Structure 1
Amino acid sequence: MTSQEFKSNLLIKRPRYANSRIPIIEILANKGSRTSEYSQFGPIYELYIYAFMLGLKNNLRLPLPPRDLTTDFLELGKWKRDSALVDFLMMIIFTRSEEIGFDWNEMEDMQDADLNIVISKVITFIEEYANGGLEHLHDLLDKGQLENSHYMFIDLYKNVNT
């Protein structure tokens, strides 16, 4: 598998999110003309990215429930088409290769089946940190500590427990 094939196979994957996270997603993601008491992050994929970043920053890696309690999300390659956003996220993710469980130097000699395992681990990595970030947002909402601000994400990101 070439590096371009690896990237293409990664970009067609659809990360999942727990169905129990749908209420926080509906509150914080702009799904069209819907109004909310909170400043909204934008499209759902943006909230998912913010949640991933919060989870990563807070070291909140939380496994997803079984597949029947999750929903497939938009394919990675369709997150902000024609921008470098996904490439930037991949760079962040791949700096954690040891945690994900692969060695860059070994990838060159891996067979397709092994590379597909790496892709699966990358998706799980995204899902689990996004799930942790969404849980963090939900906990803040439940405790009345989610402040409504246009800078909500920036404020949350800089006030992490690290």
Structure 2
Amino acid sequence: MNAQEFKSLILSKRPRYAKSRIPVMEAFANKGQSKSEYSQFGPLYELYIYGFRLGLKKGLKLSLPPRNLTQDFLEIGKWKRDSSLVDFLLMIIFSHADEIGFDWNDLEDMEDKEINQVVSNIIEFIESYANGGLQYLQEEWENDNLINSSYLFVDLMNE
């Protein structure tokens, strides 16, 4: 398998999120609402990415609950099409190769089963850090610790 085929396999996946995160996602994501209590982060997938980055930055890795308590998200390849956002996200993920159990040098020689395991590890990596970041955001929101600012995400990353 070459790198482009590997990337396409990853982009076809639909990460999940905990259904318990829906209230915070609705509170902070721009879903066409004209008014909100907080400055909007953007579409749901952007908030999911912010949650991932926040979780990764703060080391908040949190496994998802059982499948019946989660919901599938949009395919990674449909996040911000024709932009470098997903490529940037993948670079961040691959910089944690030891955590996902992946070595680029092994890609060409991997069997399908091994490749599928690496892709599964990548998706689990995204899900767990996104879940941790979204939980952190949810707790801060529920405890009224957030200041409404257009720099809210930057402020949270700098804490």
TM over 0.5: yes
Note the C-alpha offset of 1:90.
Answer: 0.2
Give the whole-Å Cα distance in 1 for the aligned partners of 2:53 and 2:71: 20
8 Å Cα contact 2:15-2:74 kept in structure 1: yes
- CA–CA distance in structure 2, aligned partners of residues 5 and 139 of structure 1: 39
Over aligned residues, Cα RMSD in angstroms? 0.9
Map 1:63-82 → 2, pairs under 5 A: 63-82=63-82
SS in 2 for 1:71: strand
Write the letter of the residue equivalent to 1:150. Answer: S
User: Could you say which residue in structure 2 is the equivalent of 1:128?
Assistant: 128
CA distances 1:54-81 after superposition (whole Å, capped 9, x unpaired):
0000000000001111010010000000
Task: Return the alpha-carbon distance in structure 1 between the equivalents of residues 84 and 112 of structure 2.
Answer: 26
Distance in 2 (CA, whole Å) between partners of 1:67 and 1:35 is 33
Q: CA deviation at 1:11?
A: 0.2
What is the aligned partner in structure 2 of residue 109 from structure 1? 109
Percent identity of the aligned residues? 64
SS at match of 1:108: helix
Q: Which runs of 5+ in 2 are unaligned?
A: none
How many Å apart are 1:129 and its aligned residue? Answer: 0.2
Aligned to 2:156: 156
Structure 1 runs (4+) greater than 3 angstroms displaced: none
**Which aligned pairs between 1:6-155 and structure 2 lie closer than 5 A?**
6-155=6-155
Distance 1:143 1:111 in 2: 48
Cα shift readout 1:82-102 (whole Å, capped 9, x = no counterpart): 001100100010000101122
Could you state the TM-score of these two structures normalised by the residue count of structure 2? 0.97
Where do 5+ consecutive residues of structure 1 fail to align? none
The question of 1:4 aligning with 2:25 is answered no
Give the CA deviation at 1:34.
Answer: 4.8
What letter is aligned with 2:108?
A: E
2-side partners of 1:80 and 1:92: how far apart?
17
The letter for the 1-side match of 2:139 is: D
Q: How far, CA to CA, are the matches of 2:34 and 2:62 in structure 1?
A: 29
Q: Which amino acid aligns with 1:10?
A: I
Residues in 2 aligned to 1:22 and 1:34: alpha-carbon distance in whole angstroms: 19
Contact 2:11 2:76 in 1 (8 A): yes
Between the aligned partners of 1:76 and 1:34, the Cα distance in structure 2 is 27
